[in-house]
Copies of this chain bind each other. A is one copy, B any other.
């Protein structure tokens, strides 16, 4: 049931406002301060101002102070485009997210942006989710802005794009996987390790007949392969698997779970390759009158916000996406500062958080 907007939809809401109202200062757009003006004020040449800002150690103490003062007095900020044009490098960092719909990725972007912001870099977003056809032009368009670095939530899959990025010779962090030959650097975790934790947990709890629910591509597929191999190694039986092409929301998980349960028999525990599927599965299990973990055990992957809150709490593999993004940002900064980072790749631990569902 949906009730429409009231007739007075144009009513004005109160709006919070802070600070004093400033008188319009006559001429609207003040002309921008240029480096030359700062130089005049400080009694030096423009290039000295530039150096005082970018390589302070090359300028004498006395002048540097005079220049700093002139800068704050005028409110000078260098024109990023002029700088980028001349130097061939900008203060932007490209972030390629497969989708903005997943909190995992936006959390990572958040962490990365946070770190970069403090160093004066800003993030431009590329959304690569939709198709390979859109991906390549998007990458080129963004890379035309000569970003100082790039962060990718995932692994760039098209070899054509990989080599394009590699040739740019800028710091690049791939993530969310454990690639053996990253384009440049990696802030990742091992999907296989995560699945191993799941399998060992299920085995230890005595579950023998297992089910799998996942996406039929990308990480979903990696996790499924690992799941099947490891189950075989441990002598566990795969009683049913169901792969779906795309997961847009919790409803997909409900549907998939029901189909899986109805099509296979005797499944004791289901591993859901992501939390959206897992949460849907738990809700549907409840609807179907199945108790957890008595009738069915469910384990997810991702530890999203709700995993802990859906009764009786979902057991899931957890990765700290924010921390991963922040680490990526730090790797980038280290590299930009001229140092080589400690390691070209940093593997984050995965942990299994056991809750009521298993």
A contact set with B: CB distance below 8 Å? 1-6, 8-22, 24, 28-30, 77-82, 84-85, 90, 92, 95, 99-101, 103, 106-107, 109-110, 113-114, 117, 120, 122-127, 132, 138, 140-142, 144-146, 155, 157-160, 163, 167-169, 177-180, 190-193, 196-197, 200-201, 217-218, 221-222, 225-226, 249-251, 254, 279-280, 283, 286-287, 305-306, 308-311, 318, 347, 349-354
Could you say which residues of chain B place their CB within 8 Å of the CB of A8? Answer: 193
19 A-B Cβ contacts within 8 A? A2-B351, A13-B179, A13-B192, A15-B155, A15-B177, A15-B178, A19-B160, A22-B159, A29-B169, A81-B84, A92-B124, A101-B106, A123-B125, A124-B124, A251-B309, A254-B309, A283-B310, A283-B311, A306-B306
A249 to B304, CA, bound (A): 11
A178 touches B13 (CB 8 A): yes
A13 touches B167 (CB 8 A): no
Can you tell how many copies of this chain the complex includes? 2
Could you say which residues of chain B place their CB within 8 Å of the CB of A11? Answer: 178, 190, 192-193
The listed residue with most B CB atoms (<10 A of its CB), out of A5, A12, A18, A144, is A5
The 5 closest A-B pairs by CB, nearest first: A19-B159, A5-B349, A13-B178, A100-B110, A81-B84
B351 touches A5 (CB 8 A): yes
A169 touches B28 (CB 8 A): yes
Could you say which residues of chain B place their CB within 8 Å of the CB of A352? Answer: 2-3
